[in-house]
Amino acid sequence: MCVFRSSRHISVQIVDDSQGKTLASASTYEKDFRESNANGGNVAAAAIVGKKIAERALAAGVTAVAFDRKGYQYHGRVQALADAARDAGLDIGAKAE
């Protein structure tokens, strides 16, 4: 699970490295997200994206992933995304205390 964040958006993909395929993705760039949410660069938006990626991954048959935060610190939006995905049933490891 690879995360990208900018000041205005956050996106995440679940990638199968062995096949070089994206299995699921979710972001604040999506039309349905933009229609219902004004801001894509906050913790609430990251939590929505985290829940969506978990739902899409489970639908694709993926239950456990490795979390690649690309050097972003594990707090704020990145933590909210991970926690929401974890709470929605995706196994990304233990919750940080």
- Does CATH place domain 2-87 in 3.30.420.100? yes
Picking from 52, 47, 53, the residue whose alpha carbon sits closest to that of residue 80 is 47
pTM to 2 decimal places: 0.91
Place of tokens 């829940």: 51
Is the predicted pLDDT of residue 15 greater than 90, yes or no?
Answer: yes
Tokens of 9: 């958006």
Boundaries of every domain in the chain = 2-87
Please report the DSSP string for 28-54 in residue order.
TTSHHHHHH-S-SSSHHHHHHHHHHHH
Summarised one tens digit per residue, pLDDT across range 24-80 is: 999 999 999 989 888 889 999 999 999 999 999 999 999 999 999 888 999 999 999
Rounded Cα distance, 35 and 57, in Å: 23
